[in-house]
């Protein structure tokens, strides 16, 4: 199966890049970054977009540049979509966004999350409470041990297995190993609900949860991005 990849390189500016407003690659301090990531988990049934945000760093001593592309690995002309931007080191520029639609090479992998999640145009107070509640339930599960966390992540594990074409036990083992690394380092710190930031992504189908600009779940040397959705009227972790 041809699997689209996101290929990103950047330097000298603060940026994030991804698909469908999901920030898959970030640079906060202008350090050079280069990454190539498969996109199976983030491809929507339709309306996919390559997205990025960038802004100037006043104290950077590097010529700013950003290159973002969607690549099909087995295509004779593999570059599906590319945006390149650069500027002289001393040029002042306004923050800018990138939003470029693209089509996939065939139907995206079947995802229950993107098929069944409620789609929202914006986050109202009720949605924010629901999303934060799902994040709080995950943090609470970390206080009870690995099995409680895996139970809370059951939807995510099952859906990732479907999308990636893997056995659920293989995905569960991979997630379990990450949970173990986080717990080994004392686990995630408690976070007050009001300190959890919410951001609508994935075409309005998911909410990214962060705290203080960092992953919601993290400990020294290990972290877990958290995305939640309202599926069948209940908020749950979907990615």
Q: Do 84 and 95 form a contact (C-beta atoms < 8 A)? A: no
Q: What pLDDT score was predicted for residue 78?
A: 65
Residue-wise pLDDT for 103-155, tens only, equals 888 888 899 999 999 999 999 999 999 999 999 999 999 999 999 999 999 99
Q: Select the highest-mean-pLDDT range: 59-68, 80-89, 103-112, 140-149.
A: 140-149
Q: Do 149 and 142 form a contact (C-beta atoms < 8 A)? A: yes
User: At residue 102, does pLDDT exceed 80?
Assistant: yes
Q: Which tops the pLDDT comparison, 188 or 7? A: 7
Q: Kindly report each contact of residues 25-28 with a partner whose C-beta sits within 8 Å and lies 24 or more positions away, as own/partner.
A: 28/213
Residue ranges per structural domain of the chain: 5-101, 112-237
Q: What pLDDT score was predicted for residue 3?
A: 79
User: At residue 1, does pLDDT exceed 60?
Assistant: no
Sheet with 96-101, strands from edge to edge, namely 22-27, 13-19, 49-56, 96-101
User: At residue 230, does pLDDT exceed 60?
Assistant: yes
User: At residue 19, does pLDDT exceed 80?
Assistant: yes
Contacts of 201 (CB under 8 A, 6+ apart): 20, 21, 22, 207, 208, 227
> For a pLDDT cut of 70, what percent of the chain falls above it?
95
Q: What is the pTM of this model?
A: 0.92
Residue-wise pLDDT for 177-226, tens only, equals 999 999 887 666 667 777 899 999 999 999 999 998 788 888 877 889 99
């Amino acid at each position: 199966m041809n699997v689209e990849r996101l290929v990103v390189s950047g330097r000298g500016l603060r940026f994030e890049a991804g698909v469908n407003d999901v920030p898959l690659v970030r640079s906060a301090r202008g350090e050079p970054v280069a990454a190539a990531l498969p996109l199976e988990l983030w491809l929507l049934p339709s309306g996919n977009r390559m997205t990025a945000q960038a802004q100037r760093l006043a104290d950077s001593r590097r010529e700013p540049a950003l290159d973002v592309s969607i690549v099909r690995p087995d295509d004779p002309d593999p570059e599906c979509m590319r945006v390149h931007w650069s500027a002289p080191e001393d040029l002042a520029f306004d923050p800018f966004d990138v939003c470029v639609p693209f089509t996939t090479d065939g139907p995206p992998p079947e995802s229950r999350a993107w098929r069944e999640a409620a789609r929202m145009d914006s986050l109202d107070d009720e949605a924010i409470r629901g999303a934060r509640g799902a994040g709080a339930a995950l943090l609470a599960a970390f206080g009870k041990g690995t099995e409680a966390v895996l139970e809370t992540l059951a939807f995510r594990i099952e859906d990732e297995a479907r999308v990636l074409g893997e056995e659920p036990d293989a995905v569960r083992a991979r997630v379990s190993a990450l949970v173990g690394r986080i717990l080994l380092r004392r686990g995630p710190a408690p976070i007050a609900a009001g300190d959890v930031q919410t951001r609508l992504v994935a075409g309005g189908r998911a909410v990214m949860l962060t705290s203080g600009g960092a992953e919601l779940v993290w400990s020294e040397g290990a972290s877990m991005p958290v995305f939640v959705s309202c599926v069948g009227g209940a908020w749950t972790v979907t990615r």
